[in-house]
Chain A
Amino acid sequence: MRVLPLALAAAGAAASPAMAADLNVSVEIPRIATASYHRPYVAVWIERADRTSVGTLAVWYDTALPAGEGKDWLKDMRTWWRREGRAMTLPADGVSSATRAPGRHSLTFSGSRGALRNLPAGQYTLVVEAARELGGREEVRVPFRWGAASPAATQRGSSELGAVTVSVTR
């Protein structure tokens, strides 16, 4: 008798999208001293607590090669490829763009667009995966709370990624 209305209420609360929030992400690409440096391919996406994927926020790959040849190596970001990439059509407006140079890159994703649009409030993980030609692959995971302002949280990579910082502003 009491369980059903409570369950419905809980479902209703979980399903209510967090309005007018921004997800701020900072991704550091480390400077790597090597004779044959190529900028890494990078994917940024969101996972639920059960590790299922919400959607991709950004993909940086070599978009300048002829005949879309840069897409041949998207699979090297192997976790993103399996969870998200292989089901996507690229290039994707507002999601894919060219690779970026070493340094700190600040990105702001509006809660009213793309993967964040209508995203229910709750606990999520932002994942950044980088794969570099003649280099390695690394994944950095930063938990965050969606639905309320959330202070900056930072996790660091050790090879292909530096600091990844996530905060939510309203």
Chain B
Amino acid sequence: MKKTVFALAALAVVAAPLAAQAHRAWMAPSSTVLSGSDGWISVDAGMSNGVFIPDHAAMRLDGLIITAPDGSVVSAENEHRARYRSTFDVHLTQPGTYKIANVSSGFFASYTLDGERQRWRGAASDFPAALPEGATEIEGTENANRIETFATLGAPTRTVFEPTGDGLELAPVTHPNDLIVGEPGEFRLLNDGVPAAGVEVTVARGGSRYRDNPGDMTVTTDADGLFRIEWTEAGLYWINASVRTPAGEGRAHARNVQYTATFEVLP
């Protein structure tokens, strides 16, 4: 019994890389600003404590959606899953901005059976039918996670920023492929399409292995869901925010939504 609980808990951690206390999930594009008539980028995707350092687990790419500037969905090429990172290529054939997103959702439940607390993970549609008979004190939580990065061939465009209205999303004011040191970046966070106010956003710069202090920053969204980041150093940045909404007020279950993006800031 103990063993089962442990195994399930471990599974939950692996499957839910975005739980607040878990490792950081990241995508690292090989470049984000491209010139020429077409271009290729390679993206690494993993989960680890130090962002962009593949030393823990590869990211599952089941929810990978690459949106081209014209709104069409294009396929990743040369997908490969290594031990510590997944990789794939994106062929940029249209001028403009591509969005590379890994979107996942799921349902967690905890319940008591025979006096012991248990966990269950699955699709929302299987809940609560999939729980064993006799389960009590059932608590369900919906999860919606979105991990994104952007790359632009030629001049930046904004068609891929159209929000879906589901979960936590970014509505950029400053274009994420137009970031340089000395010019602040401004972005809006939306929760189910509505500005997310008072949300803490973690900002971490890559390359932490080569300095003593990781130097993570935290900024908070204002009443309009806006947050600003002062870029003092060039590099690849990891941006992360999450919101938990408890059950009640028309919600049968609690809802956890999380957004993660990778931005490249040029010197």
**Residue ranges of A at the interface with B (Cβ–Cβ < 8 Å):** 67-69, 71-75, 78, 81-82, 85-87
List A contacts of B39 (CB < 8 A).
72
Name which of B33, B36, B180 has the most chain A CB atoms within 10 A of its CB: B36
Smallest CB gap from B34: residue in A? A75
- Kindly list chain B residues whose C-beta atoms are within 8 Å of the C-beta of A86: 35, 152, 154-156
Residue of A nearest to B267 (CB): A78
Is there contact, CB below 8 Å, between A71 and B180?
Answer: no
Contact B180 A67 (CB under 8 A): no
- Per the bound structure, the CA–CA distance linking A74 and B35 in Å amounts to 6
Given A71-B35, A71-B36, A78-B33, 9 more contacts at CB 8 Å?
Answer: A71-B37, A74-B36, A75-B33, A75-B34, A78-B267, A81-B33, A82-B180, A86-B152, A87-B155
Determine if B37 and A68 form an interchain contact, defined as CB atoms under 8 angstroms apart: yes
Q: How far is the CA of A75 from the CA of B152 in the complex (A)?
A: 11
How far, in Å, is B206 (CB) from chain A's closest CB? 19
Known: A82-B180, A86-B156, A87-B155. A75 touches B35 (CB 8 A): yes
Bound form: Cα–Cα A42–B37 in Å: 19
6 closest A-B pairs by beta carbon, nearest first, are A72-B36, A74-B35, A75-B35, A71-B36, A86-B155, A87-B155
**Is B89 interfacial (CB 8 A cutoff)?**
no
Distance in angstroms from B22 CB to nearest chain A CB is 36
Chain A interface mostly: helix
Nearest chain A residue, comparing its CB with the CB of B33:
A75
Interface magnitude class on chain B: 10 to 19
B:202-235 near A, CB below 8 Å: none
Q: How far is the CA of A65 from the CA of B121 in the complex (A)?
A: 55
Complex A-B: 24 CB contacts under 8 Å: A67-B37, A68-B36, A68-B37, A69-B36, A71-B35, A71-B36, A71-B37, A72-B34, A72-B35, A72-B36, A74-B35, A74-B36, A75-B33, A75-B34, A78-B33, A78-B266, A81-B33, A81-B35, A82-B178, A82-B180, A82-B266, A86-B154, A86-B156, A87-B155
Is the CB–CB distance between A73 and B178 below 8 Å? no
Residues of B within 8 A of A72 (CB): 34-36, 39
Name A77's closest neighbour in chain B (CB-CB). B35
Alpha-carbon distance A67/B156, docked complex (angstroms): 23
- Chain B, Cβ-Cβ closest to A61: B35
The complex places the Cα of A86 from the Cα of B199 at a distance, in Å, of 34
* Smallest beta-carbon distance A133→chain B, Å: 14
Looking at B34, B35, B155, the one whose CB has the most chain A CB atoms below 10 A away is B35
- Chain B contacts of A71 at CB under 8 A? 35-37
Question: Nearest chain-B residue to A69 (Cβ)?
Answer: B36
Minimal beta-carbon separation of B21 from chain A (angstroms): 38
Chain B residues positioned under 8 Å from A82 (CB to CB)? 178, 180, 266
